[in-house]
Amino acid sequence: MAKTSDRSKYLISPALLIASFIVVAYGYFALTSFFPKGPPGTQFVGTPTLDNYWRVLGSGSNQAVLFSTLGASFLISLITIAVAVPMAMVIVRAKREWVGNLIMLAIAVTFLSGGVTRAYSWLILLGNRGLINLGLTNSGIVDAPIRFLYNWSGVGISITHYLLPFAVFTLIGAVRNLNPSVEEAARSLGASRTTTFWRITMPMLLPGLMVTLVLVYSIALASFLFPMLLGGGKVRMIANQIYDRMFVEYDIPYAAATAVVFLVSAFASIWLISFVAKKIEKAVS
Amino acid sequence: MFRRDLEGRFGITVSLLAAVATVFLLLPVLFVVLHSFSPTRYFQWPPQGFSLEWHLNFYSSSMFMDAAKNSFLMALIVTPLSLVIGIPASYALVRSSFKGKAVIQQIILSPLIIPGVVTGVSLLSLLSAAGMNIGLFGLCLGMLVFALPFAIRALSANLLGLDPRIEEAARNLGAGPFRTFFAIVLPQLKSGILAASVFVFVEALDNFSIAVFLSNDSTKVLPVAAYQYIKDFDDPTVAAMATALIVMSIILVAFLEKVMGFQKSLRL
Amino acid sequence: METLKSSTLQLRQLTKKYNNFEAVRDLDLNVPSGSLLTLLGPSGCGKSTVLRMIAGFLNVTSGEILVDGKDISRVEPNFRDIGMVFQNYALFPHMTVESNVAFGLKMRGVAKHEQAERVRDALAMVQMTHLADRYPSQLSGGQQQRVALARAVVIKPKLLLLDEPLGALDRHLREGLQSELRDLQRQLGITSILVTHDQDEALYLSDYIAVMNGGCIEQLDTPIALYDRPQTEFVARFLGVPNIFASTVVASSSSEVTVSLGGQNIIVPTDTGKTVGSSCKISVRPSHIEVARSEDPRQGVTAVIKSAHELGERIVYHCEVADLKIEANAPRISSSERFAVGQSVKLVLDPAHTVLLRD
């Protein structure tokens, strides 16, 4: 179109190099999945086969890991959004601006402090004699410590915590874009604040919620470090399975087939969520 | 701005929920700092005193110090590289149209969507199939692939906010395409470059799922070192490392706030 | 500032195609030296496309852009020597007012002391000297507009292009700047092309106006001629003429045609002969229709007043002849006769301003 842009497209070239490297890497790995495992030191040998896929899809324990990864990620994403909505509301709408700034600061510092830090901290916090359990038992809420570690609860808590900044950042934009006069109209027509929130604000927020859901769900699916540290081998998500097949079983083709199945089911489930989301949005509006 | 609906019982409920969520968010960060000064190996409450033992342990551990050196070296290589590649690429993606643009964009950004483990294992598999010694080069390459999307996202967001007519005005006044880029576009990209640098730097330092595949004993990075330490030892040395990272992130937030307002930078 | 050596601009068969869509089609245009020509039209008519081709931001599909007789259509924008004031001004946000104005001189390698002098003069010309150290974000819209103008003319360009230069300002400010812009352009004597969709702005500023529609020029005229005698229905409607009547030719001669208006005959002067019985369209502004008593002896149309409103300087009458609705204005002065609703009147159409529209 513009003269200046006729040549500016060539500026993409260095990135194109990276892009082709990515394509080759993913492509080669996917190719690997169609071959039998090779002897030590090699990646694969022999003629193409679908055996690896039968191994991934055929075993009940593999299916269990796949479905628990998808299901837990979805549940965790919903919880994350429920926690994030009040935060976003307060950040955008708190009368005192410092309140919002303080929460943003907390999010930024948490976000930048990194995953390993947070995983480690939860590992200590959630232990049988950790701060959480001490608080719960000392205050008499529970008699015996709750086991958080090495089961889904600890993994879920830490992943929720990891996702929270992403969810809040995305929701802030959605809350900001709400037209407050619609809510004011509802109030003037006699709706209480609570009714206005559920009947007016939430439906208007729905598209933003759905975008956030898809985002945090896709991040949750990729969880690796949190189940590895807090799941202690008992809670395994697909990323951990891929890692084990690579470094414990040294079976690269099997790992590759697992990864391909993982990606396909991840994209399919994300597509399904977006599809249902659109249906819900349509039904509401 | 509409700032009235956080009143009444409903407003108090929302504010309370937000307060609880904020405590939940900050708890691990504050706790790990506290824990790093614990005089005991295991967590105890109330704290039995104050000790710098674990910090000393961290800073005197050659494993952690080597890992820190590797991590920062890698991040300092990857950050400028992703800018050098990311700035022209973002400009092309935002300002010009060409065949296959959408596909190229999807591919470059794909490491954002594809789980890190898959990216890591793919890169490892390709590099070793090519007979390459992974080393620092492989680690940096992997991290560049992973971090470039963050740079491009921040830079594109910045570029999309720039009025292309400003560049046309420069051309109109006699500046050639290169002059226009360096004298007009680049200065306006300051906040995007800053945000991109911080994101890439932090992500490169923090990344575990790719680093675990692409680092070996001589190129071990901090997250991998921390993970191995947690598995083998049960003391707060990793809390000391975490404290250092948290201090660094506070400094970064303060820096971003001073230069451009961190709220704005996080939106990119 | 001294008067610039002013150039002429000619567009020959200028065409811009996007895939199958012709944004500009075979456009011919001559802009005499020193004059200001406006491209006026609704959005999407191709006026901005023409301007961007002249500036060099769009490639020409075919045709020529001649500045002083030399085709510049393949020249890079930075070598065209054409000043431009952009919509929203496009000031460099990271440079002070002074550096913004100096930019073009710097690109031309003008010596430092001359740069300073010319920037000073240009800023004085737009009364912005006192704000030379400010950044664009610290300026009001009107001030930004002045800086943009200074930046464009300081390079002594061959042409000045103005892309909706006042569009982003509020009405009050716009009127003040319009007269400044006009004075400056006359004083510099710089050949200028203005693009706007605002007819008042065009009528006020221009020496010539080209009304564009669908990539072509519908009518090229002086502002007064355009206002009084729009030649096509599109131009008449775009310029807000409410009275456009479909009619049939009753009689035709070499200098005039007689048409039927609501069953009554009216003579319209024209040199385009029309065959009797053919349909045609007539346009006349309400201020060119005199409302007279029904017994008035002049040629006119007898109509009934349906409503009468006194609005500011005018009295607006809505009248009806058969099923034809006609709007007529009378000056709201004490000597004007007031007619009541329901009264039968004679509408006298000023023949000099009653136009038989081109098909």
DSSP string, chain A: -BHHHHHHGGGGHHHHHHHHHHHHHHHHHHHHTTSPBPSTT-SB-SS--SHHHHHHHH-HHHHHHHHHHHHHHHHHHHHHHHHHHHHHHHHHH-SSHHHHHHHHHHHHHHHHH-HHHHHHHHHHHTSTTSHHHHHHHHTTS-SS----TTSHHHHHHHHHHHHHHHHHHHHHHHHHTS-HHHHHHHHHTT--HHHHIIIIIHHHHHHHHHHHHHHHHHHHHT--HHHHHHSTTTS--HHHHHHHHHHTS--HHHHHHHHHHHHHHHHHHHHHHHHHHHHHHHHH-
Instruction: Kindly report the CATH number assigned to the domain that includes residue C55.
Output: 3.40.50.300
On the question of pLDDT at C13 being above 60, the answer is: yes
Domain presence at residue C349:
yes
- What CATH number is attached to the domain comprising C296? 2.40.50.140
Same domain, C37 and C183: yes
Put simply, whether B30 touches C (Cβ < 8 Å) is no
Least confident of A41-45, B254-258, C343-347: A41-45
pLDDT for res C255: 86
Where is average pLDDT lowest: A134-143, C224-233, C287-296? A134-143
Identify whether B79 is part of a domain.
Answer: yes
Residues C217 and C252 in one domain: no
Assess whether pLDDT exceeds 80 at residue B66.
yes
Residue of B6 and C30 predicted with greater confidence = C30
CA distances from A236 to A62, A66, A134, C277 (A): 10, 9, 27, 89
Q: Which of A89, A192, A229 sits opposite B230 (nearest CB)?
A: A229
Q: Look up residue A240 and give its two tokens.
A: 């951990």
Task: List, for residues C147-161, the tens digit of each pLDDT value.
Answer: 999 999 999 999 999
Q: Complex ipTM, two decimals?
A: 0.88
Q: Which domain does C80 fall in, by range?
A: 9-231
What average pLDDT is seen over chain A?
Answer: 88
Q: Is residue A45 part of a domain?
A: no
Contact yes or no for C77 and A1 at CB 8 A: no
pLDDT (0 to 100) of residue B87: 95
What is the band of A283 on the pLDDT scale with cuts at 50, 70, 90?
Answer: confident
Higher pLDDT: A52 or A45? It is A52
Task: Grade residue C3 by pLDDT with cuts at 50, 70 and 90.
Answer: low
Residues of chain B with Cβ-Cβ distance to C88 below 8 Å are: 163, 165
Same domain, C220 and C254: no
Task: Please tell me which of the candidates C78, C86, C93 has its beta carbon nearest to residue B174.
Answer: C78
**Is there a domain that residue A73 lies in?**
no
Provide the b/e sequence for C213-222 (b: ≥16 CB within 10 Å): bebbbbbbbe
Q: What does the CA dihedral A271, A273, A277, A280 come to, rounded to 10 degrees?
A: 120
Residue A151 CB partners (closer than 8 Å, separation 6+):
A231, A234, A235
Residue C28 pLDDT > 90: yes
Report strand pairing: C36-40 vs C208-213.
Answer: parallel
Nearest CA in chain A to B250: A109
Please state the domain count of chain C. 2
Mean pLDDT of chain C: 91
Measured between CA atoms, the residue of chain A closest to residue C74 is A3
- What confidence score (pLDDT) does residue C355 get? 92
- Do A224 and B117 form a contact (C-beta atoms < 8 A)? yes
pLDDT at position C266 is: 87
**Domain limit, last residue, from C231, C255, C284:** C231
pLDDT by residue (tens digit) across B181-197?
Answer: 999 999 999 888 998 99
The pLDDT value recorded for residue B195 is 87
Tens-digit pLDDT profile for residues A83-122: 999 999 999 888 888 888 889 888 988 888 888 889 999 9
pLDDT at C214: 92
In a domain, A130, yes or no: yes
Q: Is residue B96 part of a domain?
A: yes
Length of chain A: 285
pLDDT reading at C107 higher than 60: yes
- At C175, the pLDDT band (50, 70, 90 cuts) reads confident
> What phi and psi, each to the nearest 5 degrees, are found at residue C209?
-125, 130
In B, minimum Cα distance to A259 occurs at B118
The pLDDT confidence band at residue B4, using thresholds 50, 70 and 90, is low
Could you write out the three-class secondary structure of chain C?
Answer: CCCCCCCCEEEEEEEEEECCEEEEEEEEEEECCCCEEEEECCCCCCHHHHHHHHHCCECCCEEEEEECCEECCCCCHHHCCEEEEECCECCCCCCCHHHHHHHHHHHCCCCHHHHHHHHHHHHHHCCCHHHCCCCHHHCCHHHHHHHHHHHHHCCCCCEEEEECCCCCCCHHHHHHHHHHHHHHHHHHCCCEEEEECCHHHHHHHCCEEEEEECCEEEEEECHHHHHHCCCEHHHHHHCCCCCEEEEEEEEECCCEEEEEECCEEEEEECCCCCCCCCEEEEECCHHHEEEEECCCCCCCEEEEEEEEEEECCEEEEEEEECCEEEEEEEECCCCCCCCCCCCEEEEEECHHHCEECEC
In a domain, A70, yes or no: no
Q: Among residues C177, C201, C231, which one ends one of the domains? A: C231
Rounded-to-integer distance, Cα A176 and Cα A198, Å: 17
User: Does C53 lie in the same domain as C173?
Assistant: yes
Q: Is residue A52 part of a domain?
A: no
Q: List, for residues C41-72, the tens digit of each pLDDT value.
A: 999 899 999 999 999 999 999 999 999 999 99
Residues in chain C with CB shorter than 8 Å from the CB of A6 are 59
Residue at C90 is within a domain: yes
Q: Is A251 a domain residue?
A: yes
Per residue in A124-168, pLDDT tens?
999 888 888 888 888 888 888 888 888 999 999 999 999 999 999
> Higher-confidence residue: B171 or A283?
B171
Q: Are A225 and B208 in contact (CB under 8 A)?
A: yes
pLDDT of A6 over the 70 cut? no
* Residue C91 pLDDT class (50, 70, 90 cuts): very high
pLDDT of B155 over the 90 cut:
yes
Domain containing residue A239: 80-284
Helix axes A115-125, A131-138, angle to 10 degrees: 30
Determine, yes or no, domain membership for C3.
no
Place C171 in a pLDDT band, splitting at 50, 70 and 90: confident
Instruction: Measure A169 CA to nearest chain B CA, in Å.
Output: 7
Whether C1 is in a domain gets the answer no
Same domain as C315, residue C175: no
CATH number of A208's domain:
1.10.3720.10
Quickly state the pLDDT bin for A1 (edges 50, 70, 90).
Answer: very low
Q: Which residues of A touch B221 (CB under 8 A)?
A: none
Number of folded domains that form chain B: 1
Closest residue in chain B to residue C79, using alpha carbons only: B174
Give the structural domain span for B132. Answer: 61-267
Integer CA distances (angstroms), C86 to C8, C154, C191, in order: 21, 15, 17
| B43 closest CA partner among A162, A120, A109 | A120
Is B40 touching A (CB cutoff 8 A)? no
Domain end, chosen from C184, C209, C231, is at: C231
Beta carbons of A225 and B208 less than 8 Å apart: yes
Q: Is the pLDDT of residue B266 over 70?
A: no
Which residue, chain included where needed, has tokens 């609880």?
Answer: B20
Check whether C185 has a pLDDT greater than 60: yes
Rounded percentage of chain B residues whose pLDDT exceeds 90: 57
Residues C53 and C183 in one domain: yes
Indicate which CATH number applies to the domain containing B213.
Answer: 1.10.3720.10
Neighbours of chain C (3+ CB pairs under 8 A): A, B
Tokens 């899809």 belong to residue? A57
Confidence band for B1, pLDDT divided at 50, 70 and 90: very low
Quickly count helices (H) and strands (E) in chain B.
14, 0
The mean per-residue pLDDT over the stretch A225-244 comes to 90
Give the model's pLDDT for residue A250.
85
B122-131 mean pLDDT: 87
Q: How many domains does chain A have?
A: 1
Residue A15: inside a domain, yes or no?
no
Domain assignment present for residue A58? The answer is no
For residues C208 and C335, the answer to whether their CB atoms sit within 8 Å is no
C137 min Cα distance to partner chain B (Å): 13
- C174 and C313 fall within a common domain: no
Q: Which of B3, B107, B245 sits opposite A117 (nearest CB)?
A: B245
Q: Indicate the pLDDT class of residue B2, thresholds 50, 70 and 90.
A: very low
